[in-house]
Chain A
Amino acid sequence: MPTIQLKVNGQDHTVDADPQMPLLWVLRDLIGLKGTKFGCGMALCGACTVHLEGNPIRSCSFPVSAAAGKKITTIEGISANTDHAVQKAWIELQVPQCGYCQSGQIMSAVALLKSNPKPTDEDIDTAMNGNLCRCGTYQRIKQAIHRASEIMQS
């Protein structure tokens, strides 16, 4: 197994893995960061969303070798105390139900707000359309992204 160097949430990790192994399983099972979730394995649900150099990617369909040496951020890396504006808004509006899709939702929302601090409803629809929620929390997600935007401006 080749050795691969990864930079996750500011920390360096060395893993022995099949270069084709999706980043998702490396993060969850080899590094132990289990906040990133498995939902479909085919880039269809967004549960596995993480940031690569700040951009959201679906880690279930992203070979670990392509992430070598790049800056990876997972849900565990966006704040130390659950106090990112997006997380504050998520808690204020009580967004999660089962919660399983929410790491991915939050990672997509964080990326959206970074590139577009004041998104419209349409911007939110476009940025969040790849993140499925079977519990149906979409209305609150939309409200919470607007609220996070407000929190970030203040």
Chain B
Amino acid sequence: MSTSSIDRRKFIQITGITGTGFLLGLQQRGYGKTAVASFTNEAAGYNLSPYILIEKSGGITIFNTRPEIGQGTAQSIPALICEELEVPLEQVTIKQSGGEKQFGAFQGVGGSYSVRGSYMELRKVGASAREMLLTAASQQWSVPVTECRAEAGKVIHASSGKSLTYGELAEAASKLQVPKKPVLKDPKDFKILGKAAPRPDVPLKSSGKAVFGIDADVPGMVYASVEFCPVIGGKLISVDDAKSKAVTGVSQVEKCERIVGIYRHDGVAVIADTYWAALQGRKALNIKWDKADKEAFSSLAYNQKMRNLAKEEGKPDNKNTGDDTALYAAPVLVEAFYETPFVSHSPIEPMNCTAHWKDDGVEIWTSTQVPSELVSEVSREFGLPAEKVKLNVPYSGGAFGRRLINDYVLTSVALSKKIGKPVKQIWTREDDTRLGPFRPPTFSLLKAGLGRNGMPMAFRHKVISPSIEASMDKRYDKGKMDKGMTEGISDQDYLFPNMKNSYVFADVDIPLLYWRAVTSTTLAFAHECFIDEMAVKAGKDPLGYRLSLLKENSSTYRLLQKLKEVSGWEKPLQKGKGRGVAQYKFFAGQCGHVVEVTRKGDGVTIDKVWSVIDMGTVVNPDTVKAQVEGAVVMAITAAIKNGITFDKGQTVQSNFNNNPILRISEMPDIEVHILTDQTGQIFGAGEPGLPPLAPALCNAVFAATGKRIRKLPFDVNKIA
């Protein structure tokens, strides 16, 4: 959103945006709107910015452009506006935008960007509105504006004791010029920001009242379940649907398509009056697929191909600082090869979308990370003007990057267009597990030349992997240095006198996508385990060795010092226990962990994780802690549970039995610490907790058992 969008203030009828969003947060007190009712008040309201709507009655609606997917934006985003507007969060109604133009070109969540990307902008929105309300009051009372103050949704004139509510002032305020440079509050006066605050969505999510995409209910709606070729990319030859149509409740069988990145996959949809009937009908389909050239793909062969590619000269990045003489002249050479798997996103709410194609456009209900992208994609694909795509964005039952693309949406819209009825399409867990898109695997070849004192003279990290960008864009240049696939490897604060990091592209025909913390989740494993290998070779303490590679004024030095302190790193451990440390700095921010494990049988138990996340500025510390706790759990799953593998072109895994996620009984204690400073910097919260977990864990396993893990996932109960 740009500053200029703040100037596009105008009086509008609430009805102009009615039905474009679901009611997300709700005040438990205040104006008494009900929990899940949609916002259909016909009364006039006044926009002091596209994001703020004030009704005469005093009701205040804040429009949130950052969908709540579990990361807390239902609180943290409106909080930015409310803080400056001087209105408690409990007094406002929060409504999710649905890609409408007035809410800006990008409405979405990803890259841990929501709060840091909105922090100044939305505070200015709130401050401008506050100044307009103050001016309106001072004009009405004919007193200097400096004698007025805003508090809890009112403007107060202290000396006369007069006060007016924002509702009473809204009309006059909406006619004023929007201040170009509103004065922001001094952070020491903050009432909301920087404090642990409850989230408005939590009571709804503790009572079954929160509405998710899958809960959409449209009159006349039918259900769809789609069979795609089990061999990813197989083409439809023919379908015999006689048995399927004989299933009670099944009304139609239709061909359809899934558009995912550069791929278009054929599907067969079974339409029925209940989802259960659609599933039964789907089981009864008899489909012939052409799998010819796709069946040869297997993980075994692909992994070998990646290992072979490691021998190739990679494309170096622009941080390349030296030739190989120093590397091979060093008295000690350390070398290692690391491997990571494909993984699935597996949010517990499977992909689903309800679409209703009407004479004058389409209406969509779906959980998504990217309302604005979704609207433009549907409008492009179906040749509709964007205003004819009406999108309702309920809560997302998890996303983790999966809901950045709209494959399931396009299929539903096409089906509704074809059959002329509202269609709710729901993927099964098996669809969700088998069809991807997946986090790509990365293999890493690392080399370091150490001096006699153990200090590095040269460092190399070569990444071999398929590319997410290549999966999304046909024009991808296969010979280039792929920045996305080498994320962070040249951005660590460690001082290497000679460094050359590079990339080798490995082709693959499987859809790939961003996964929470993207490529940093796999590269940090290789990078930070290898730093540990260097420390071991140097005969140094791994944390102390890292500190010796850092400038004392670097953020990494400060982070590691904090970890050392909170984890009691220097306290001796009982026999059979081990501690490991790791950190990673990348686009989303920076976090570090110390993990403690205990030997048990042939494996270890993961006992405790200490986490330090650098936020710079924090909006809701409790939400940040929750994000790091969740990131740790997701990263442990990726480190020790099944990854996704392929055999004969098919995904081997299908559901949570063979693609498991961590359970409560496997949980370590997690203790999260937040670093802040006064520099005004602000970093992300959702992703930084992931990358350093696997290396900290594997470094701890090494400390406890002497066994070096270089391949994920590994079996924590049986360490080879």
A residues at B contact (CB < 8 Å) = 1, 17-18, 21-22, 25, 29-30, 32-42, 44-45, 47, 74-76, 79, 82, 87, 90-91, 94-103, 106, 124-126, 128-129, 131-142
Of A74, A90, A100, which contacts B206 at CB under 8 A?
A90
| Structural contact, B429 and A96, CB atoms closer than 8 A | no
CB contacts (< 8 Å) of A82 on chain B: these are 203, 206-207, 209
B241 within 8 A of A: no
Return chain A residues, CB-CB under 8 Å to B595.
none
* B71: A residues at CB distance < 8 A: 97
Q: In angstroms, how far is the closest chain B Cβ from the Cβ of A64?
A: 9
Cβ-based interface call for B645 (8 A): no
- Interface contact A100-B398, CB-CB below 8 Å: yes
Report yes or no: A134 in contact with B400, Cβ–Cβ below 8 A.
yes
Residue picked from A95, A99, A141, most chain B C-beta under 10 Å = A99
In the complex, the chain B residue whose C-beta lies closest to that of A141 is B664
Interface string of B177-219 (1 = CB under 8 A from A): 0000000000000000000001101111111111110110100
Establish whether residues B201 and A136, one from each chain, have CB atoms under 8 Å apart when the complex forms.
Answer: no
> Least Cβ distance of A28 to chain B in Å?
8
Q: Which residues of B contact A141 (CB under 8 A)?
A: 664
Assembly CA distance A140 to B198 (angstroms): 14
A45: nearest chain-B partner, CB-CB: B656
Complex Cα gap A18–B400 (Å): 36
> In the bound complex, do residue B663 and residue A129 qualify as a contact, i.e. CB atoms below 8 Å apart?
yes
What CA separation (Å) do A87 and B210 show in the bound complex? 14
Neighbour of A136 across the interface among B209, B655, B662, B665, CB < 8 A: B662
Chain A residues whose C-beta falls within 8 Å of the C-beta of B205 in the assembled complex = 96, 99, 102
Known: A134-B661, A135-B70, A136-B629. 10 other contacts (CB 8 A): A33-B208, A37-B212, A39-B350, A42-B655, A44-B657, A76-B208, A79-B207, A125-B665, A129-B664, A136-B631
Residue among B206, B633, B661 making CB contact with A96, cutoff 8 Å: B206
Identify the closest chain A residue to B669 (Cβ). Answer: A139
Select which of B202, B217, B346 is within 8 A of A34 by beta carbon. Answer: B217
Given contacts A21-B276, A25-B274, A137-B630, contact A38 B201 (CB under 8 A): no
**Whole-angstrom distance from the CB of B115 to the nearest CB of chain A?**
15
Q: Which residues of B contact A128 (CB under 8 A)?
A: 664
Q: Give every chain B residue within 8 A of A135 (Cβ-Cβ).
A: 70, 398, 630, 633-634
Contact with A along B118-151 (1 / 0, CB 8 A): 0000000000000000000000000000000000
- 6 CB contacts below 8 A, A to B, read A30-B274, A42-B657, A87-B207, A94-B626, A103-B208, A128-B664
B353 within 8 A of A: no
Which listed residue (B217, B249, B669) contacts A32, Cβ 8 A? B217
Residue pair A100, B203 in contact (C-beta under 8 Å): no
Docked Cα-Cα span, A41 to B656, in Å, equals 10
Interface SS of chain B: loop
A46 to B217, CA, bound (A): 23
Tell yes or no: B428 within 8 A of A by CB.
yes
Q: List chain A residues, Cβ under 8 A from B117.
A: none
Q: Interface centre among A124, A128, A133, by most B CB within 10 Å?
A: A133
Partner of B428 from the list A1, A36, A41, A106 (CB cut-off 8 Å) is A41
Q: Is the CB of B214 within 8 A of A94?
A: no
Check A18 against B70 for contact (C-beta < 8 Å). no
A126 to B631, CA, bound (A): 23
Answer yes or no: B667 CB below 8 A from chain A CBs. yes
Bound-state CA distance A17–B272 (Å) is: 13
Residue-wise interface mask of B (396-434) relative to A, using a CB-CB cutoff of 8 A (1 in contact, 0 not): 111110000000000000000000000000101100000
Closest A-chain residue to B429, C-beta based?
A: A40
Q: Is the beta-carbon distance between A38 and B199 smaller than 8 angstroms?
A: no
Contact: A99 with B629, CB < 8 Å? no
Residues of B in contact with A (beta carbons under 8 Å apart) = 69-72, 198-199, 201-212, 214-215, 217, 223, 248-249, 274-277, 280, 346-350, 395-400, 426, 428-429, 622, 626-627, 629-634, 655-657, 661-665, 667, 669-670
B426, A38: Cβ atoms closer than 8 Å: yes
Contact, CB under 8 Å: A125 / B664: yes
Q: Given A25-B274, A38-B426, A96-B202 in contact, is the A134-B347 Cβ separation under 8 Å?
A: yes
Question: Hey, which chain A residues are within 8 Å of B248, CB to CB?
Answer: 1, 18
Ordered nearest first, which 6 A-B pairs have the shortest CB separation? A35-B208, A136-B633, A100-B397, A99-B205, A98-B70, A75-B208
In the bound assembly, the distance between CA atoms of A40 and B655 in angstroms comes to 7
How far is it, in angstroms, between the C-alpha of A36 and the C-alpha of B667 when the chains are bound? Answer: 25
B633: A residues at CB distance < 8 A: 133, 135-136, 138
Instruction: Output the least CB separation between B141 and chain A (Å).
Output: 41
Chain A contacts of B203 at CB under 8 A?
A: 82, 87, 91
Q: Inside 8 A of B657's CB, which chain A residues have their CB?
A: 42, 44
A63–chain B nearest beta-carbon distance, Å:
10
Q: Looking at the assembled complex, report how far the CB atom of B348 sits from the nearest CB atom of chain A, in whole angstroms.
A: 5
Q: How far is the CA of A50 from the CA of B427 in the complex (A)?
A: 22
User: Is the beta-carbon distance between B277 and A18 smaller than 8 angstroms?
Assistant: yes
The answer to whether A100 touches B198 (Cβ under 8 A) is no
A97 to B348: give the CA distance in the assembly, Å: 12
Least CB separation from B633: chain A residue:
A136
**Chain B residues near A76 (CB-CB < 8 A):** 207-208
- Residues on A with C-beta less than 8 A from B206 are 82, 87, 90-91, 95-96, 99, 102, 106
Looking across the interface, which residue of chain A has its beta carbon closest to that of B654?
A42
Question: Which residues does chain B contribute within 8 Å of A95, judged by CB atoms?
Answer: 202, 206
Q: How far is the CA of A125 from the CA of B223 in the complex (A)?
A: 37
Q: Given A34-B215, A138-B667, does the pair A40, B70 have CB atoms closer than 8 Å?
A: no
CB closest chain-A residue, reference B249: A18
From residue B340, how far is it (CB to closest CB) to chain A in Å? Answer: 19
Q: A94-B199, A98-B347 are in contact. Are A42 and B429 (CB under 8 A)?
A: yes
Residue of A nearest to B215 (CB): A34
Roughly how many angstroms separate A47 CA and B70 CA in the complex, as a whole number?
16
Chain A: which residue is nearest B68 at the CB level?
A98
Most buried by A among B622, B630, B632: B630
Interface centre among B198, B217, B656, by most A CB within 10 Å? Answer: B656
Closest to B672 in A: A139
Q: A98-B395, A100-B349 are in contact. Are A136 and B630 (CB under 8 A)?
A: yes
Q: Which of B204, B275, B396, B670 has the most CB of A within 10 A?
A: B275
Docked complex Cα distance between A120 and B482 (Å): 50
CB pair B349–A131 under 8 Å, yes or no, is no
Of B346, B348, B426, the contact of A47 (CB 8 Å cutoff): B348
- Check A25/B655 contact, CB under 8 A, given A94-B202, A131-B664, A138-B633: no
Question: Is the beta-carbon distance between B202 and A132 smaller than 8 angstroms?
Answer: no
* Chain A residues with CB below 8 A from B665, complex form: 125-126, 129
Looking across the interface, which residue of chain B has its beta carbon closest to that of A98? Answer: B70
**Considering residues A34, A82, A135, which has the most beta carbons from chain B within 10 angstroms of its beta carbon?**
A135
